[in-house]
Amino acid sequence: MVVLENTPSAVLVVAVGVLVSVGVYLLLERSLTRVLLGFVLVGNGVNLTLLLAGGRAGSAPIIGTAPDGEPMSDPLAQAMILTSIVIALALSAFVLAMAYRSFQLGGHDEVADDVEDRRIARLAAANAPAYTDLDAEGSDQTLDEEAAEVHDDVEAGGQPDGSGEGGAR
């Protein structure tokens, strides 16, 4: 019998609130280590939220172990949390590797602003094209006028001589 009553317990709600608040505060930092710690805390908070969504506490979801009359806690929420815990471990290690790499390259583990994004923003403000594109250059001819100057690869003899610009053949 799985627990069906799902009134949340206030202490767990408070724990969710504290973990998420502190976690978000740390997430907004620029030091990758603190971002990671924030992530871990938020993850813990979210895991508790999942636990709350599964309903009230019960006995362990192992058949035959429950005391008489006590329903078991929701196993589905637990399965989800379990994988979440392990993935959080893998992710922490990954972010740490990034922090280390960042430290190796720049001497600190802080996330700097993306230079390329700033460059694009500057160009956009000036309404300049973000990249040079030969095809985008304006010409006085309309496209159908240009098309009139395109000739096909046909048998030699009537050699076309009025080829379009760039008319390599």
Partner 1 sequence: MLLVLLAHLVLAVGAPWLVRAWGRRAFFVLALAPASAAAYALSWTRGVADGEVPTSRTEWVPGLELAVDLRLDTLSWFLLLVVGGVGALVMLYCAAYFSRDAQGMGRFAGVLTAFAGAMAGLVVADDLLLLFVFWELTTVFSYLLIGHHADRKSSRRAAMQAIVVTTAGGLAMLVGLVILGVETGAWRLSEVVADPPSGTAATVAAVCLLAGAATKSALVPFHFWLPAAMAAPTPVSAYLHAAAMVKAGVYLVARFTPAFGDLPVWQVVVVALGGGTLLLGGYRALRQHDLKLVLAFGTVSQLGLLVLLLGVGTRGAALAGLALLGAHALFKAALFLVTGAVDAVTGTRDLRRLSGLWRTMPVTAAAAGLATASMIGLPPFAGYVAKEAALEALSHGHGPLGQVAFWAVVVGSLLTVAYGLRFWWGAFATKPAGVPGGVVAEGEEVRTAPSRRVPALLVVPPVMLALGGLAIAVVPSVGEHLLAPYADTYPTGEPGHLVLWAGVTPVLAVTAAVLGLGALAFWQRARVARWQDALWSPRGADLVYRRSMRRLDDLAADVTAFTQRGSLPFYLATILVVLAVGPGLALAVGLLGGADGGGPVVDVVPWDRPAQVAVVAIVAVAAVLAARARRRLKAVLLVGVAGYGNAALFLLHGAPDLALTQVLAETVTIVVMVLVLRRLPPYFSDRPLRASRWGRVALGVVAGVVMMAFAVLAPSARVAAPVSVDFPEEAEVFGGGKNVVNVTLVDIRAWDTVGEISVLLVAATGIASLVFLRQRSGKVLRLAQADDVEDRHTRSVWLAAGRTQDPRRRSVMFEVVTRAIFHAMIVFALFLLFSGHNAPGGGFAAGLVVGIALTVRYLAGGRYELGEAAPVHPGLLLGTGLFLSAGVGLAALVAGQEVLESFIVDLYVPVLGKIHLVTSLFFDVGVMLLVVGLVLDILRTLGAELDRQAEVEGRVL
In the region spanning residues 63 to 92, those forming contacts with partner 1, defined by CB under 8 A, are 63-65, 72-79, 81-83, 85-92
Residues 73, 3: Cα–Cα separation, whole Å: 5
The verdict on 106 binding partner 1 (CB under 8 A) reads no
Tell me the residue type at 24: V
Residue at 156: amino acid letter:
A
CB of 57 to partner 1, least distance (A): 4
Residue with tokens 């000739």: 151
Query: Minimal distance in Å, beta carbon 54 to partner 1?
Result: 8
The residue (of 52 and 69) whose beta carbon lies closer to partner 1 is 52
CB atoms closer than 10 angstroms to residue 39: 18
Tokens describing residue 160: 């076309």
* Binding residues for partner 1, total number by CB under 8 A: 132
CA distance 5 to 79: 19
From residue 137 to residue 166, what is the string marking binding to partner 1 with x (rule CB under 8 A)? -x---xxx-xxxxxxxxxxxxxxxxx-xxx
Closer residue to partner 1 (CB): 68 or 90:
90
In 3-state terms, what secondary structure has residue 94? helix
Binding track, positions 18-57, relative to partner 1; x by CB under 8 A: xxxxxxxxxxxxxx-xxx-x--xx--xxxxxx-xxxxxxx
Closest CB to partner 1 among 69 and 125? 125
Q: Which of 36, 16, 17 is nearest to 27 (CA)?
A: 36
Which residue in 68, 69, 99, 106 binds partner 1 (CB under 8 A)? 99
Site string for partner 1, 111-140 (x = CB under 8 A): x-xxxxxx-xx-xxx-x-xx---xxx-x--
User: How near is the Cβ of 81 to partner 1 at its closest, in Å?
Assistant: 6
SS3 of 97-139: the string is HHHHHHHHHHCCCECCCCHHHHHHHHHHHCCCCCCCCHHHCCC
